[in-house]
């Protein structure tokens, strides 16, 4: 006998089954994301500290005003923007360049590719520690090269404000350029081969092909990679924590580092929540600009 | 000088012999069509000429210049691809001016050239459109415009019409002819469509299995194919080929054992063939069905299976052994299933060697 599918009879059951499958993950999501988020906004209006949950009072926007009127805050933001801006642009440029070099075929390409991707597979805490040792003024390998082999003066990588900015950027770039390489390679290889054939018949040089075909056609994926990196960098904490500990002084303390200290070292939970909310808004703002760019590029 | 010479050209992919020893001379301004079934090596040959494939052995000359080791960019060619290969992110006018920009022509001159060529092809209204907005026919016109904007020495077209609807094909065929005559450019055109080849070509190069089967102008290939493959491939429907045996006692029989009667001249010719087996080839257009003979001397007996109309002409189908053949019938369906005779024109008979497929 033929079995036919009775829509009316099964559709009610099906809806129920779909719901049954859906609600556990929905509940977990609500519990892990929505609830903490609501509580975060809630606490940001109180002088709450979860170590001393007494005398908690509603203080309105005081936490926000405290943060936004403090010149220290602006210093942290300026450092963060410098750090993120420089890191992401260097990663972006280097990533595209390396991906372009890896486009052509050569012996051992797969091995090179794997090695290039390696830093990304390490844990940021470990990367921070590794570079901390390498940057050591007295016995770090970098100063060994600069001083003992090349004859320059020893550089106080982590002890001076300006140097420490570059030390963090170098470590960060080393770790995250592979991500850009990966996405740029994917973007480049998605450009159909026949376009390059058409272009070589049209007498385009390698560079002309790259700037007039490869880049414009992979722009959407490249911008997407930029969005990922930007969002991630704005939140970055772990690498800096082990590399410089925010020092010297507070020189390499990013916004999220300050947030960590406020919330988990001084336990000003309310003020920490306000920091978190401000950071969130900035990240959303920045990425929405890039998402617009992305939409513009993909509609073209 | 844009004379193209292929000298013993070979292209192997591992053990696969895609192009297996091709010798061909293409004259200046000639419109040459490579014709053959898919996988016959025609596109590979074209890509070797373009420089998109390296050759395994043999030489390619443009004029006196050996171009084997030149990049496509250095060969001064232009190409139209089967699937257009337009730059999807650029508007129409920037697609057309791409080759000009690549050779750093100043913008004002680029603009003038684009205007010129778009007027020639009647696409001046499309210049500011996006590629994705264009119908397929217009896409291929833009691709053609991009190819000819830079007066190439050799124009290569790789099945440019096979992705288009029949209506567009008709239009574009006319366009190609017009452009080629106007530009006076040596053109190599690849297709598997014999009608296209017949309409466009000055010279058709029939290919099969990586080799050239036969070269010639369309009329000659149609009327006197030197090879069974050509006769079968060119024409729609293709040529009929009957296996014949010379019994030696003055009679010739077909594969079903039925005798075939030739007029005296051809009977002598058939009987004089040094081999006992041969193939007798004739186009369906020269083969007529009659229920009763009216004194013809060229005929054999058949039974019609059915009648079909192809391009407004009634063709009768009949079997000899397992092979299906076609002949002309005067009336329609009512002849289906009838027995009778096919008679044929004396002048149109061709004999072939069954092993080599070559004409005798």
State what percent of residues in chain A have pLDDT above 70.
96
CA distance B82 to A209: 21
Q: Can you give the residue range of the structural domain that contains A47?
A: 31-299
ω into residue A248 within 30 of 0, thus cis? yes
- Average pLDDT score over residue span B119-139: 90
> Is residue A294 scored above 80 in pLDDT?
yes
Phi first, then psi: give them for residue B113, nearest 5 degrees.
Answer: -60, -45
> Is residue A92 scored above 60 in pLDDT?
yes
> Is residue B274 scored above 80 in pLDDT?
no
Domain assignment present for A4: no
Mean per-residue pLDDT of chain A: 88
Please list every residue in chain A whose beta carbon sits closer than 8 Å to the beta carbon of residue B89: 216-217, 300
CB-hemisphere CA count at 13 Å for B202? 17
- Identify the pLDDT of residue B95: 93
CA distance B206 to B247: 34
Please list every residue in chain B whose beta carbon sits closer than 8 Å to the beta carbon of residue A203: 72-74, 99, 102-103, 150
Domain assignment present for A19: no
Q: Choose among B50, B85, B150: nearest Cβ to A194.
A: B85
Boundaries of every domain in chain B: 4-233, 240-352
ipTM of the complex model: 0.81
- Identify the pLDDT of residue B228: 92
CB proximity list for B163: less than 8 A, separation 6 or greater: B82, B83, B84, B136, B140
Choice among B49-58, B142-151, B171-180 with the minimum mean pLDDT: B171-180
Closest to A253 in 3D by CA, of A237, A242, A234 = A237
Q: How confident is the model at residue B255 (pLDDT cuts 50, 70, 90)?
A: confident
Classified by CATH at the fold level, domain B4-233 comes out as Rossmann fold (3.40.50)
Mutate to test the interface with A, among B85, B100, B105, B130 (most CBs of A within 10 A): B85
A118: which strand partners?
Answer: none
Domain assignment present for A156: yes
Q: CA angle at residue B313 from B310 to B314, to 5 degrees?
A: 90
- Identify the pLDDT of residue A7: 60
Q: A202 and B85: CB-CB below 8 Å?
A: no
Q: How many Cβ contacts (< 8 angstroms) between chains A and B?
A: 61
- Residue listed under structure tokens 């699937």: B83
- Identify the pLDDT of residue A1: 47
Number of neighbours of residue A198 by Cβ within 10 angstroms: 29
- Nearest chain B Cα distance for residue A164, angstroms: 43
Strongest mean pLDDT among B165-174, B221-230, B284-293: B221-230
Closest to A81 in 3D by CA, of A255, A249, A222 = A255
Q: Choose among B85, B103, B130: nearest Cβ to A195.
A: B85
Choice among A78-92, A141-155, B189-203 with the minimum mean pLDDT: A141-155
Is the model more confident about B133 or about B273? Answer: B133
How many helices (DSSP H) and strands (DSSP E) are in chain A?
14, 0
Q: B72 and A200: CB-CB below 8 Å?
A: yes
Q: A194 and B77: CB-CB below 8 Å?
A: no
CA distance B161 to B172: 8
- Average pLDDT score over residue span B346-358: 84
Is the model more confident about A83 or about B251? Answer: A83
Phi first, then psi: give them for residue B9, nearest 5 degrees.
Answer: -75, 130
Q: A203 and B102: CB-CB below 8 Å?
A: yes
Is the model more confident about B157 or about A153? Answer: B157
Q: B98 and A212: CB-CB below 8 Å?
A: yes
- Nearest chain A Cα distance for residue B182, angstroms: 21
* Burial (0-12, 13-18, 19+ Cβ within 10 Å), A223: buried
Mean per-residue pLDDT of chain B: 88
The helix/strand/coil state of A198 is helix
- Identify the pLDDT of residue B215: 94
- Identify the pLDDT of residue A98: 93
- Average pLDDT score over residue span A15-22: 88
The helix/strand/coil state of A255 is helix
- Specify the DSSP element, H or E, that contains B68: none
- Identify the pLDDT of residue B79: 93
Closest to A83 in 3D by CA, of A242, A227, A252 = A252
Closest to A256 in 3D by CA, of A83, A123, A88, A135 = A83
Q: Which two tokens stand for residue A183?
A: 């996405």
Q: A202 and B83: CB-CB below 8 Å?
A: no
Q: B83 and A201: CB-CB below 8 Å?
A: no
Q: A203 and B81: CB-CB below 8 Å?
A: no
Number of domains in chain A: 1
Q: What is the CATH classification number for the domain harbouring A99? A: 1.10.3720.10
Q: CA angle at residue B85 from B83 to B87, to 5 degrees?
A: 140
Mutate to test the interface with A, among B75, B88, B90, B160 (most CBs of A within 10 A): B88
Q: Choose among B77, B81, B99: nearest Cβ to A194.
A: B81
Q: What is the pLDDT of residues A136-153, one digit of tens each?
A: 888 888 888 888 888 888
Q: How confident is the model at residue A3 (pLDDT cuts 50, 70, 90)?
A: low
Q: Choose among A198, A208, A212: nearest Cβ to B85.
A: A198
- Identify the pLDDT of residue B205: 95
Q: Choose among A194, A197, A202: nearest Cβ to B98.
A: A202
Domain assignment present for A9: no
> What's the Cα-to-Cα distance from A45 to each of A35, A259, A263, rounded to whole Å?
16, 16, 14
Contact A246, A164 (CB under 8 A): no
- Nearest chain A Cα distance for residue B90, angstroms: 9
Choice among A67-71, A98-102, A169-173, B238-242 with the minimum mean pLDDT: A67-71
Name every residue in A having a CB less than 8 A away from some CB of B: 194-195, 197-205, 208, 212-213, 216-217, 300
Phi first, then psi: give them for residue B98, nearest 5 degrees.
Answer: -50, -50
Mutate to test the interface with B, among A193, A198, A209 (most CBs of B within 10 A): A198
Mutate to test the interface with A, among B79, B94, B97, B102 (most CBs of A within 10 A): B102
Q: What is the pLDDT of residues A110-122, one digit of tens each?
A: 899 999 999 989 9
B206: which strand partners?
Answer: B35, B214
């Amino acid at each position: 006998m033929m079995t036919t599918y009775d829509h009316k009879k099964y559709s009610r059951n099906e809806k129920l089954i779909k719901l049954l499958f859906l609600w556990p993950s929905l509940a977990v999501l609500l519990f892990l994301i929505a609830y903490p988020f609501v509580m975060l906004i809630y606490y940001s209006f109180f002088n709450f500290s979860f170590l001393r949950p007494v005398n908690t009072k509603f203080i309105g926007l005081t936490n926000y005003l405290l943060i936004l009127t403090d010149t220290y805050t602006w210093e942290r933001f300026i450092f963060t923007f410098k750090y993120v801006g420089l890191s992401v642009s260097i990663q972006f440029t280097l990533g595209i360049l390396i991906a372009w070099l890896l486009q052509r075929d050569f012996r051992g390409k797969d091995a090179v590719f794997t090695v290039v991707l390696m830093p990304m597979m390490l844990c940021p805490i470990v990367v921070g520690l590794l570079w901390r040792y390498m940057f050591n003024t007295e016995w770090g390998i970098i100063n060994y090269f600069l001083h003992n082999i090349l004859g320059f003066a020893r550089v106080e990588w982590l002890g001076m404000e300006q140097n420490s900015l570059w030390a963090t950027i170098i470590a960060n770039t080393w770790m995250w350029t592979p991500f850009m390489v990966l996405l740029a390679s994917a973007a480049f290889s998605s450009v159909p081969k026949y376009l390059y054939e058409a272009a070589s018949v049209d007498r385009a040089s390698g560079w002309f092909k790259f700037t007039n075909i490869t880049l414009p056609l992979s722009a959407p994926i490249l911008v997407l990679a930029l969005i990922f990196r930007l969002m991630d960098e704005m939140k970055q904490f772990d690498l800096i924590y082990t590399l410089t500990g925010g020092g010297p002084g507070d020189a390499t303390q990013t916004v999220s580092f300050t947030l960590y200290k406020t919330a988990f070292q001084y336990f000003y939970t309310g003020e920490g929540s306000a920091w978190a909310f401000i950071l969130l808004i900035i990240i959303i703002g920045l990425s929405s600009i890039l998402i617009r760019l992305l939409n513009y590029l993909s509609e073209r | 000088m844009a004379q193209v010479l292929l000298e013993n050209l070979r292209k192997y992919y591992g053990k696969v012999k895609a192009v297996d020893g091709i010798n061909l001379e293409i004259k200046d301004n000639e419109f040459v069509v490579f014709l053959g079934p898919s996988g016959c090596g025609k596109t590979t040959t074209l890509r070797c000429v373009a420089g998109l494939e390296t050759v395994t052995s043999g030489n390619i000359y443009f004029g006196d210049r050996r171009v084997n080791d030149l990049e496509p960019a250095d060969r001064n060619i232009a190409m139209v691809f089967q699937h257009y290969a337009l730059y999807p992110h650029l508007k129409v006018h920037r697609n057309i001016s791409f080759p000009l920009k690549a050779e750093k022509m100043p913008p004002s001159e680029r603009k003038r050239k684009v205007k010129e060529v778009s007027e020639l092809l009647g696409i001046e209204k499309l210049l500011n459109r996006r590629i994705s907005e264009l119908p397929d026919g217009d896409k291929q016109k833009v691709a053609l415009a991009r190819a000819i904007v830079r007066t190439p020495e050799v124009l290569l077209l790789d099945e440019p019409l096979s992705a288009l609807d029949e209506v567009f094909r008709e239009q574009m065929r006319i366009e190609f002819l017009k452009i080629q005559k106007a530009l006076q450019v040596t053109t190599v055109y690849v297709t598997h469509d014999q009608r296209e080849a017949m309409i466009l070509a000055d010279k058709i190069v029939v290919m099969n299995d990586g080799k050239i089967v036969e070269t010639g102008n369309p009329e000659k290939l149609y009327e006197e194919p030197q090879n069974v493959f050509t006769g079968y491939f060119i024409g729609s429907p293709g040529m009929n080929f009957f296996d014949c045996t010379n019994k030696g006692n003055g009679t010739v029989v077909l594969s079903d054992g039925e005798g075939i009667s030739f007029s005296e001249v051809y009977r002598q010719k058939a009987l004089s063939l040094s081999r006992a087996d041969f193939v007798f080839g004739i186009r369906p257009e020269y083969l007529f069905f009659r229920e009763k003979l009216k004194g013809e001397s060229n005929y054999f007996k058949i039974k019609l299976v059915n009648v079909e109309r192809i391009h407004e002409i009634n063709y009768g189908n009949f079997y000899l052994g397992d092979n299906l053949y076609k002949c002309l019938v005067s009336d329609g369906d009512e002849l289906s299933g009838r027995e009778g005779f096919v008679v044929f024109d004396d002048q149109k008979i061709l004999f072939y060697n069954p092993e080599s497929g070559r004409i005798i």
